[in-house]
Every structure is written in C-alpha cells, then in structure tokens.
Chains A and B, each alone.
Chain A
Amino acid sequence: MKGLIVKDLLLIKENIKQLVLFVLVFVFIGLQGNQILVFVPAFLSMMMFLSTFSYDDYNKWNSYAVTLPNGRKNIVKAKYIASIFLSLVAILLTYLLVILFGVANHNLNLEETTATLLGCWSAIVLLQSIMYPLIFKLGIEKGRIFLLVLVFGISALIGLLFQNIKVSLSSEVIHFLDNYLLIILPLLMMIILYISYKVSAKIVQKKEF
C-alpha cells in the first residue's frame, strides 16, 4: 500500500510545490484582515488530490493495480490515507504560519483560526467521504457530476427545512456545543470517514475493471 500512496504523491508532486506557495499567499492575505481566507489552501489540496483519480482513470491504472498483491484492498486504503495526509499537511502548515505571523505581528487570534481550520478540515473530510465511494463506483467523470447534484440537493433541502421549521436551540445545547464542538466534530468526522472507507472497500472488492 505504501507504494500506492507514493505513486499518488508523485503524480501531484508539482502541485504540492504550488501548494506551499498558496499557503504562504493565503496566510498573508488572511492576516491582512479577512482571516477566514486561511481555509483556501486546504481546500485546494483536496482539489489537487482529486486529479489523481482522473490520471488513474485515463490510463486505466486500477485495472493494472488489482493485479498487484492485495490490489483491491490497497487502492482504496491508499486513496484515503494519501488524501487525509495531504489535507492535514496543508492545514497544519497553515496553522503554523498563522501562529508565526500572528506572534510576529502581535495580532494572534488562535481561537478563530482553530475554529476556521477545524471547520474546514471537517468540510473536506465530509466531502471526501461522500465523493470517494461515488468515484469508485461511477468513475471520476460521472462521480463528479453526481457529487454536484448531491451537494446542491442537500444544501437546498437543508435551506428549505430551516426556512420552514423554526429551530430553537436551548441555551444548554448551545453552551454544550460551545465547549465540546472542537472534540465532537473531529470524532464525528472520523466515524463518517471510516464508514465511507468501508463502503468504498466493498464497492471495489466486487468491481470489474
């Protein structure tokens, strides 16, 4: 499996160099005022990683990969691990730079940055968790279209629901979320990611390439 991760990272090695540049630029812009922008590099890392699926599809890599020892298991595992690794690197790098710049400029707002980056990481993990099974099932081209439909569909649905139903959270719930969200959210995302991995593994186990 290690080899498959190496292969994916080699595929986007040029992009990874650009990613470091993006982190620098967006941290710099973010610290000028709009700190919410620091999430951009991590999102870019997710998009970059998606291109490895396109390269794979184009050269029918998966058909070849399943002939390698433990191929079916490992192609799924490697995609999840490599993409989590990449987004974590992007986020940690951003975090580190924000702290460095913040300390240097005496305007460090750690709480806001932590919340922004954690929210961003959760969103990335959620998207990947929905996307990967779809891509393994349908291929990158169809998977992408399906994902768009799904994301817009869910957003519209949630929007409609909240418009028509008045949600009133009691102050206790808000207080609870305020205190524990930083722990609950990552845990929840890990569970979702794990389920998604299991679904993908099942799809690939039976798939004909």
Chain B
Amino acid sequence: MNAIEIKGLVKKYDEKFQLGKLDLTVPKGVIVGLIGENGAGKTTLLKAILNIIQTDEGTIKINGRDNHEEKTKENIGVVLDNMFFPELLTAKDIELAMRGIAKNWDTELYYNYLKEFSLPLDKPLKALSKGMRKKLEIATALSHHPDILILDEATSGLDPIIRNEILDIFLNFIQDENHTIILSTHITSDLEHVADKIVFIDQGKIVLDKDRDELIDHYGILKCDPDKMDQVKKEDYVCYKKNKYDVEFLVADREKIRKKYRDFIVDKMTLEELMLLMIKGVK
C-alpha cells in the first residue's frame, strides 16, 4: 500500500491559478521533496492532502483511505508554515491540550524531544526564536506516533546548523520503513542530502517526478558558446537557457551526451540549477 495516492486532483482558484490536474504516488519509506517557485502550488497541494482546502476534482488516498476520513488524520504529523498554536501558549500548555486531542499522544516522548532539542517548558511561543519554534512544532508533530510527516517549508528561514539538526530528525524518523515524509522547500540543497524522490511543481502542475539518485547521477548541464548552440540537437536536451556569455542545456543522460559532444563541457547539476533551468529555460 502506498502512503499517499493522488489521482486527477484539480483545485481551481481563479483564471490565473489552478492546481493540477495532477497525479502523485508516494510509496512508504521514502522522503519526498516538493520543489518549485513561491506560488507554484506546493502549499496548495499539501493543504489539499490535509483536507484544509476543498478540491474540485480527483481523489486523495492516505494509507489506502480517502483523505476525508477522520481516521487518516491520526497517522499524520503536520508542520505548516506559520500555522500553529496561538503564541501565548507554552510548550507545557501545548502538551496539556494535545493530550486531549490526539489519541496516540505520548507525553513522555514529547518531553524527551523537548529535552533533546533544549526547548524551554514555560516560555510562551512568541518568546522563542524561529528555530526553536520550528523544533517545537516538529516535536508536537512527532509525539503522537504518526507514520506520515507532512512539512511545509519546515527549514526555511533557519540557519544551516539548525537545518542540519532538523534534517537529522527526519532521517531518524524515516529509519522505520513504514514511515514517510513529504516536505516542501525552496532550499533545494537540503533535499540533495535527504530526499529519495524529487517532485517539481511549476504553475500548479507536476513537471518532474523522479528519484533523486537518477537526477543527481544522470542529469547534467551542457555548456557552450552562444554561437555554437545550433550544434546541440533537439532530442538531446530537456530545455536550455541563454546567459550573457554561454548557453546551458539541461540533459537527461549526462554520460551519453558527454561522449556525443566531446568538444563541450558536460557537468553534474545541482537541484537549484535544475529548478532555474526548468523555470527560466526554453524547450
């Protein structure tokens, strides 16, 4: 059974923006990274999965059940961007409330996380730094033993050290092969470390859905002078982008292209370069 299965999902907002139609399957035991520009539809997709917004078409299944079934929510831990308990409350207050909200709430586990993350018990949320708040949100999400974690921009605005700590928490969580994580971010370097699968959303549509290893090991960038760009055949690249002094082609099979175009440079590519090329590039 897949952790999440989305079929034919459509969410219409207005003439300018529509999410979908899209299909997405997330198997158990993986970390899926959602990337895309601001406003591309990442948060909308996550909100649709969580049933925060209503969808117009399509079905979303979580652990094989329709996402409207309340029971599905018992298995999901959520960290959203700027949506959490009112900031007058303290970590202790949140524990008292969650005890009466989540069925599988584990007080001991929660307090262990607080200790591990060095979070204060009696300070209101508004007195915590951004990093501490995020860690508290993650601790809350993890303390009712979910098997799916859904995180929207959980690492954005945080320094590299805290980001690294948080990514370690995720890697720890995913040790259990029944556990799954979907995280959206525009800090693509984070995903290069942890994600198994990369899903790229642009203007409400999934434009790329691939294993990270395939992207990192096989995709590449071919660079050449603008006056030589005609030599690169159309079937050999995904898209290209003209810069001031060179042209960059995104290629799907780096080694093959390297052998074919021996005069040009063919390099490995980062997810950030991939994102830039796919959004700014021409097909």
Contact = CB atoms under 8 A, between A and B. Distances in A.
Interface of A: 1-7, 10-11, 52, 55-56, 58-61, 63-64, 66-71, 74, 206, 208-209
A74 to B, nearest CB: 8
Interface of B: 47, 50-54, 70-71, 73-74, 76, 78, 80, 82-89, 93, 96-103
Contact of A67 (B76, B86, B93, B97): B76
A64 B84 contact: yes
B52 A209 contact: yes
A206 B86 contact: no
Given A6-B96, A6-B100, A11 B76 contact: no
Nearest to A1: B100
A7 B97 contact: yes
B135 to A, nearest CB: 16
Contact of A60 (B83, B89, B96): B83
B211 to A, nearest CB: 28
Given A7-B89, A11-B88, A69-B73, A63 B97 contact: no
Given A3-B97, A3-B99, A55-B88, A64 B83 contact: yes
Contacts of B51: 66-67
Nearest to A73: B70
Given A66-B52, A68-B102, A69-B70, A56 B96 contact: no
A66 B96 CA distance: 18
B133 to A, nearest CB: 11
Given A59-B86, A68-B101, A10 B70 contact: no
Given A69-B74, A70-B73, A206-B54, 7 more contacts: A2-B101, A7-B86, A58-B86, A64-B80, A67-B73, A67-B80, A69-B101
B102 A10 contact: no
A3 B98 CA distance: 6
Nearest to A12: B88
Contacts of B102: 3, 68-69
B73 A10 contact: no
Contacts of A208: 52-54
Contacts of B100: 1-6
B52 A67 contact: yes
A64 B97 CA distance: 13
A63 B46 CA distance: 12
Contacts of B93: 7, 10
Q: Sorted from nearest, which 7 A-B pairs have the closest CB atoms?
A: A3-B100, A3-B101, A2-B100, A55-B86, A7-B97, A60-B83, A63-B83
A158 B16 CA distance: 47
17 contacts: A3-B97, A3-B101, A3-B102, A4-B100, A6-B96, A7-B85, A10-B96, A11-B88, A61-B84, A63-B47, A63-B52, A63-B80, A63-B83, A67-B78, A69-B70, A208-B54, A209-B53
Contacts of A6: 96-97, 99-100
Contacts of B85: 7, 59, 61, 64
Nearest to B54: A208
Taking each of B80, B85, B93, which has the highest tally of chain A beta carbons within 10 Å of its own beta carbon? B85
